[in-house]
Amino acid sequence: MLRHLLSGDLPRSHALGAVLMIVLVALAGAPFLFPGSQSLNVAAKICVFIVLAASYDLLLGYTGIVSFAHTMFYGIGGYGIAIAMHGISATWGAMGIGIALALLASLILAVIIGLFSLRVRAIFFAMITLAVASAFAVLASQLRDITGGEDGRSYSVPMVLRPSFRLFDEPVLGVSITGRMLSYYIVFFSSLLLFLAALRIVNSPFGRVLQAIRENEFRAEALGYRVVVYRTVASVLSAAMATLAGALMALWLRYTGPDTTLSFAIMIDILLMVVIGGMGTLYGAVLGAVIFILAQNYLQLVMAKLSAATSGIPLLPQLLHPDRWLLWLGILFVLSVYFFPTGIVGRLRAGRR
């Protein structure tokens, strides 16, 4: 049963299995285990970024292509929800239309970019996606009438998802079931479903072909697989998943703006998550996203203490300043690429032997 759910791709390491179990339980019970809006926010972010990182790993880790346009698709999902909910109405129907149109837009863009630039080498694709994504970001902040420009759009969600909504009159397990909690569970279960779907994809015959292309493009081509077609389909699937992740995030935040969806900073975040967690295994995306989001939210507290403790020494306090948390993750990223390209998951799995 479990094997079937995970598409035969088991953690293959006791430590990894245990960590994944803890993550699953913590996320599933987050509203009860860690009450409070900030921790719930962190949990929801982790869910969404697991999906986002997993969809990126489908490209980077499994197909071996670097795209810098992943946040564009993530943003399209967010703006799909934003424009529909703001422009039509705060109903489930509008939400459906928004998601459907966003998926369609992502699909078209991904196919165009793919067919245009995946024929040539990895470097070309990376540069072209970077250019397209940045043009898209500028466009989104310029088309004020549609997107709300730099300010973005805030909007309402359907009644049952609003914080003021109560499912029951009485609290359950000491926590009252609010619309916020229902939103969280929509995010959680959708993310879980998307993650399992991604596992299904990479462990299908199609996924095997992607890995073959990653390992040796010419050989795969010689065996009769149309490399361009496979790469394009992979980038379309990955784009669709990123779009859905963007829609989930929009639903959770009830706000969509260029900084939270389209910025290059988020692209860097995703890259860090996938590489630190481990490329070429979707569990790496899980660990990467969990570690990164936790670091983003809590590492700064630790660093503030360290910075204060080292205040007499030159330079060290600046390096340990809470705002420099990305410096340390960046160093970890570089070291990961050199010394353990399979990331944390690879380490855990190797440790078993």
CB 138 → other proteins: shortest distance, Å? Answer: 4
CB 91 → other proteins: shortest distance, Å? Answer: 31
Secondary structure (DSSP) of 233-259? HHHHHHHHHHHHHHHHHHHHHSEE-HH
Confirm or reject binding of residue 334 to other proteins (CB under 8 A). yes
Confirm or reject binding of residue 146 to other proteins (CB under 8 A). no
Confirm or reject binding of residue 327 to other proteins (CB under 8 A). yes
Q: Which is nearer to other proteins, 10 or 334 (CB)?
A: 334
Q: What is the contact mask toward other proteins in residues 161 to 200, using x (rule: CB under 8 A)? A: ----------------------------------------
Part of the chain binding other proteins (CB under 8 A), chosen from 74-82, 123-131, 157-165, 171-179: 123-131
Confirm or reject binding of residue 121 to other proteins (CB under 8 A). yes
Chain position carrying tokens 């995946």: 118
Choose, by CB under 8 A, the member of 162, 166, 321, 347 that binds other proteins.
321
Confirm or reject binding of residue 92 to other proteins (CB under 8 A). no
DSSP-derived 3-state class of residue 153 = strand
Q: Which is nearer to other proteins, 22 or 265 (CB)?
A: 265
Question: What is the identity of the amino acid at 324?
Answer: R
Dist. CA 260–CA 303, nearest whole Å = 24
Q: Would you give the distance in Å from CA 298 to the centre of its chain?
A: 19
Secondary structure (DSSP) of 274-290? HHHH-TT-HHHHHHHHH
- Burial class for 37, CB neighbours closer than 10 Å (0-12, 13-18, 19+): exposed
Choose, by CB under 8 A, the member of 165, 185, 255, 333 that binds other proteins.
333
Dist. CA 186–CA 72, nearest whole Å = 23
Segment holding 160, helix H or strand E = none
Smallest CA-to-CA distance from 349 within 305, 283, 302 is with 283
Q: Which is nearer to other proteins, 64 or 179 (CB)?
A: 64
Confirm or reject binding of residue 138 to other proteins (CB under 8 A). yes
Binding-site size, other proteins (CB under 8 A): 41
Chain position carrying tokens 């009159």: 169
Choose, by CB under 8 A, the member of 35, 163, 171, 341 that binds other proteins.
341
Task: Please tell me the total number of residues recorded for the chain in this structure.
Answer: 353
Q: Which is nearer to other proteins, 145 or 169 (CB)?
A: 145
Choose, by CB under 8 A, the member of 22, 309, 337, 350 that binds other proteins.
337
Dist. CA 210–CA 232, nearest whole Å = 11
CB 22 → other proteins: shortest distance, Å? Answer: 28
Q: Would you give the distance in Å from CA 132 to the centre of its chain?
A: 20
Confirm or reject binding of residue 122 to other proteins (CB under 8 A). yes
Dist. CA 132–CA 69, nearest whole Å = 7
Confirm or reject binding of residue 53 to other proteins (CB under 8 A). no
Smallest CA-to-CA distance from 296 within 318, 268, 326, 319 is with 326
What the block records as the tokens of 137 is 């970001």
Choose, by CB under 8 A, the member of 25, 127, 175, 294 that binds other proteins.
127
Binding site for other proteins (CB under 8 A): 60, 64, 66, 116, 121-124, 126-128, 130-132, 134-135, 138-139, 142-143, 264, 268, 271-272, 275, 315, 318-319, 321, 323-324, 326-327, 329-331, 333-334, 337-338, 341
